[in-house]
Amino acid sequence: IAGITQAPTSQILAAGRRMTLRCTQDMRHNAMYWYRQDLGLGLRLIHYSNTAGTTGKGEVPDGYSVSRANTDDFPLTLASAVPSQTSVYFCASSDSNGGAYNEQFFGPGTRLTVL
Amino acid sequence: GESVGLHLPTLSVQEGDNSIINCAYSNSASDYFIWYKQESGKGPQFIIDIRSNMDKRQGQRVTVLLNKTVKHLSLQIAATQPGDSAVYFCAETRTGGSYIPTFGRGTSLIVHP
């Protein structure tokens, strides 16, 4: 693995179903993020994690949950999908380097359609 | 509330011209700014960054200017090429906080050959 990967690439999901989007990075970055991107709205932060074992809510956390059991993985779960969660989801990571913020590295995205 | 925004949602230029993409921010405490490029179907990619102790930073064909007095950030692309066609986002953050950047809506740059 080189960088940050996401799976699946795309998914069509029936409303009410549970879905987990996977994200893995091999850069040993301490911080990870999940964004959704909708046309005209840019990137909106769903959840984040500054370090393994901790998570925090972003701008649009409702309907989503995350966990950070280790440094490399940061899965995003939709407990009961709704059509408004149709979007492109991006995972990102960064090295906060003891307090100094550095740029984020983004994955290729997961295109999710909820019917 | 505090926000980061872009003045122009779409910018069309001819190949070879210079491009300027602008961004306004409202939080005077912001001290780190980043420009990202997003090509169609891909995730955003880092282009260049600048910290608040600088007012200009240059990269390969790109320059970022920071004017803290008017809270304005710009990205200049020299000799724009068709491969520069993408959506460009600015992001701002404040060190010492939770390190969460705020992204602007994005500007679509279209380069005509």
Q: Residue A74, Cα to own-chain centre: how many angstroms?
A: 7
pLDDT digits (tens, 9 = 90+) for B45-72: 999 999 999 999 999 999 999 999 999 9
CA distance to partner chain B, nearest, from residue A26 (Å): 17
Please check whether residue A96 is in contact with residue A50, taking contact to mean a CB–CB distance below 8 angstroms. Answer: yes
Phi/psi at B74 (5° precision): -140, 155
pLDDT digits (tens, 9 = 90+) for B16-40: 999 999 999 878 888 899 999 999 9
Does residue B99 belong to the interface with chain A, where contact is any CB pair within 8 Å?
yes
Six token digits for residue B110: 């279209």
CA distance to partner chain B, nearest, from residue A101 (Å): 6
Percent of chain A with pLDDT over 70: 94
Three-state SS at B83:
helix
pLDDT digits (tens, 9 = 90+) for A51-85: 999 999 998 999 999 999 999 999 999 999 999 99
Chain A residues close to B101, C-beta within 8 Å: 101, 104
A positions 45-104 inside 8 Å of B (CB): 45, 48, 50, 56, 58, 90, 92, 94, 96, 99-101, 103-104
CA distance readout (Å), A42 to A39, A82, A87, B6, B112: 7, 20, 11, 11, 24
* Whole-angstrom distance, CA of residue B38 vs CA of residue B19: 16
pLDDT digits (tens, 9 = 90+) for A2-46: 799 999 999 999 999 999 999 999 999 999 999 999 877 789 999
| Biggest distance spanned by C-alpha atoms of chain A | 43
